[in-house]
């Protein structure tokens, strides 16, 4: 079921048990724009069925926030202009060359080109897999792109991110709403979950320059400004105390600087930044 954020913005909530991220819909007076196409044709079709129940202009654009499979494998279902940044396009080219039969999928999983959950979703949610080929995006932008849906402006920007190097955010100025995709999350490298410490402050700066009051995230659905500020504060406080690969030193520094123990979120972030120090030291 679609959630209504305003008269012109709706979203389909994430379903983490099915590896389904948040999908967005923004409507102007002439056209509508979709944010992320879902993790499979079935996910995309479920979204389109929900949109059919709304009185909105036709979908003209689909914006992919980044090239992780759960955000783009449904894009063939949309009769619309697919928009990505240049680096997202380069990564997606690899997926356009893949085969989706069982033998090929197992080969990709064994080679760590794909995880087991991705294979399972493809096997259950993509019909006619033997002939399935991911289509190419239609519009490729470098840094920023502005789209007018008819008295409704959407600003697309590729930003620095602790999650991927190809993150696109979408800002709707008159609504003070921003779709972040997964850009504010960490990532996993060599089986270690981490936040890219060097990109944390540049990323926050890229996001906070927009006057946003509501934030749509890939796997939390929606946060208000106060919730995002708390998230940024906990992340930055955790990052500031991590200066080496020693978790013990980081926790002790946190206690000295804040005069308290870290809460559960801060401890999680501290461990993630320590992991990043380990990865950078390799």
Average pLDDT, integer, range 85-91: 98
For the chain, the maximum distance between any two Cα atoms, rounded to a whole number of angstroms, is 60
Average pLDDT, integer, range 57-83: 98
pTM to 2 decimals? 0.97
Please determine, for residue 1, whether its predicted confidence score (pLDDT) is greater than 90: no
Write out pLDDT tens, residues 192-210.
Answer: 999 999 999 999 999 999 9
Burial 157-193 (b: 16+ CB within 10 A, else e): bbbbbbbbebbbbbbbeebebbbbbbbbbbbeeeebe
- End-to-end Cα spacing for the chain: 46
Residue 142 pLDDT grade (very low, low, confident, very high; cuts 50, 70, 90) = very high
Residues 6+ apart with CB under 8 A from 80: 34, 59, 60, 61, 62
Give the start-to-end residue ranges of the domains of the chain: 2-98+134-196+214-224
Please determine, for residue 269, whether its predicted confidence score (pLDDT) is greater than 90: yes
Residue 86 CA to its chain's centroid (Å): 16
Average pLDDT, integer, range 19-40: 98
State how far the Cα of 71 lies from the Cα of 40, in Å rounded to an integer: 9
Please determine, for residue 282, whether its predicted confidence score (pLDDT) is greater than 90: no
Look at residue 165 in the predicted model and tell me its pLDDT: 97
CATH class entry, domain 2-98+134-196+214-224? alpha beta
Q: Token pair for residue 209? A: 């320059």
């Amino acid at each position: 079921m679609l959630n209504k954020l305003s008269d012109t913005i709706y979203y389909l909530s994430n379903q983490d048990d099915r590896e389904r991220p948040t999908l967005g819909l923004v409507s102007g007076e002439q056209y509508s724009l979709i944010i992320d196409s879902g993790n499979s044709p079935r996910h995309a079709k479920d979204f389109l069925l929900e949109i059919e129940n709304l009185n909105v202009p036709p979908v003209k654009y689909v914006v992919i926030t980044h090239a992780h499979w759960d955000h783009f494998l449904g894009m063939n279902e949309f009769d619309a202009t697919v928009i990505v940044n240049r680096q997202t396009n380069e990564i997606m080219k690899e997926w356009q060359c893949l085969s989706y039969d069982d033998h090929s999928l197992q080969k990709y999983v064994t080679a760590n080109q794909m995880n087991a959950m991705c294979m399972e979703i493809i096997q259950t949610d993509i019909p006619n897999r033997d002939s399935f080929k991911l289509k190419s995006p239609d519009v490729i932008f470098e840094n920023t792109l502005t789209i007018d849906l008819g008295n409704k402006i959407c600003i697309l920007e590729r930003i620095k991110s602790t999650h991927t190097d190809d993150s696109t955010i979408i800002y709707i100025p008159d609504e003070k709403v921003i779709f972040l995709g997964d850009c504010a999350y960490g990532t996993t490298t060599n089986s270690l979950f981490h936040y890219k410490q060097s990109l944390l402050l540049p990323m926050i700066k890229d996001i906070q320059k927009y006057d946003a009051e509501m934030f749509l995230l890939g796997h939390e659905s929606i946060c208000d400004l106060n919730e995002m500020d708390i998230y940024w504060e906990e992340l930055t406080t955790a990052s500031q105390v991590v200066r080496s690969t020693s978790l013990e030193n980081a926790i002790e520094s946190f206690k000295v600087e804040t005069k308290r123990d870290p809460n559960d979120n801060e401890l999680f972030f501290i461990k993630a930044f320590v992991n990043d120090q380990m990865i950078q030291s390799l």
